[in-house]
Amino acid sequence: MLSLEHSKEMEKILSLLKNYISGKKIAKEMGISRTSVYRKIEKLRNMGYEIESKKGVGYKLISKPDIPYPHEIKPKTKIIGKNIFYFKNLSSTNEFARKMVQKGAKEGTVIIAEEQTEGRGRKGRKWFSPPGGLWFSIILYPSLPPEKGGLLMMASSVSIVDSLADIGINAGIKWPNDILIGKKKVCGILMEMEASLNKINFAIAGIGINVYNKLHPSLENASTLQKFINKKISRISLIKSILEKFDENYQKLLEGDYESIGKKWISLSLTIGKELEIKEGNIEIKGKAIGIDENGFLLVKSREKIHRIMSGDVIIK
């Protein structure tokens, strides 16, 4: 496990390695022994950093891996991502986040895993999470009334779509919160919340983005971001941008500016204005999506009435 707190030393050594530098000099600059310099260089190499060593000259950093290590992300935010934890392997970042909540984790803590062995999707489904994607969870303690919980999801999806637009990928949101390019799902959000009568106790925003990972062969409607763009995507820049945009949108929500999130969500929605079929348990509704209400519920006009829908699986006709 790697966290921002533990990475100060790593950052220091990486910055020294920008130009050729001798082991002796690194040791002096960092106040450590030459053996521990050697050990640290080896550790960085094992983490994927390419470090050249030239006899009599020293070491130099040649390339960095595109791995979302906390010290590489460092988002410029007020609340989100002040604390980031990176794991090579976890059962599920949402599950781990829950444990951290119980231990009193700070608001905005982000948990990232390179790979999840038991990634969770909505409705108890599995979420295939091999290396090369972005699988992460954000811990929130929003002082929002429980009925506004849906807007938190909207703030996440809007932030992701905006970040994708910044790298030239045109995506949209299928209600409730699937991010699609064309008809292919590239990202899913699992918002887990615990609330009492008038207060959200905590929320965990679990975000799964297929970046350049393998896809499960059974998923016909899924794709990866990399398939839609020619240049190599940087997972580091992408998650940084998402955390920064989410930080802004989250603050808007906390300030009570629900409307701008709702409006933005509608502008990116692939669902509004479409004829749909929605299934939730045994209930099936057919109608036209005409908007969302003040809490982010979908408004669907069937022949009989207008339904306010909180969750369900949507088939767009």
- Cβ distance to ligand BTN smaller for residue 120 or 184: 120
What amino acid occupies position 144? L
Interface pick for ligand BTN out of 49, 85, 127, 128 (rule CB under 6 A): 127
**DSSP for 195-230, written as a single string:** EETTEEEEEEEEEEE-SSS---TT-TTB--GGGG-S
Kindly indicate which of the ranges 81-89, 115-123, 143-151, 211-219 contains the residues binding ligand BTN, using the contact rule CB under 6 A. 115-123
The one segment of 4-12, 39-47, 149-157, 202-210 that binds ligand BTN by CB under 6 A: 202-210
- Cα separation, 220 vs 116, in Å, equals 21
Pull the structure tokens for residue 70. Answer: 């906390």
Q: Is 206 in the site for ligand BTN (CB under 6 A)?
A: yes
The nearest distance, CB 124 to ligand BTN, in angstroms, is 10
189 near ligand BTN, rule: CB under 6 A: yes
Kindly determine how many residues on this chain lie close enough to bind ligand BTN according to the rule CB under 6 A. Answer: 21
Of 51-59, 144-152, 205-213, 222-230: span binding ligand BTN (CB under 6 A): 205-213
Distance (Å, whole) CA 7 – CA 131: 22
Which residues 72-111 are close enough to bind ligand BTN by CB under 6 A?
92-94
Q: Which of residues 165-184 bind ligand BTN (CB under 6 A)?
A: 178
Tokens of 309: 């829908």
The torsion angles phi and psi of 188, rounded to 5 degrees, stand at: -130, 150
Nearer to ligand BTN, 290 or 315 (CB): 315
Choice from 77, 83, 137, 157 touching ligand BTN (CB under 6 A): 137
* Separation between Cα atoms, residue 171 and residue 269, nearest integer Å: 9
**Identified binder of ligand BTN from the candidate list 85, 135, 258, 265, rule CB under 6 A:** 135
3-state DSSP assignment of residue 92? coil
C-alpha to C-alpha distance for 120 and 159, rounded to whole angstroms: 21
Query: How many whole angstroms from its chain centre is CA 80?
Result: 11
Phi/psi at 291 (nearest 5 deg)? 160, -170
Tally of CB atoms within 10 A around 297: 18
- The residues that touch ligand BTN, with contacts defined as CB under 6 A, are 92-94, 116, 119-122, 125, 127, 129, 135-137, 178, 188-190, 206-208
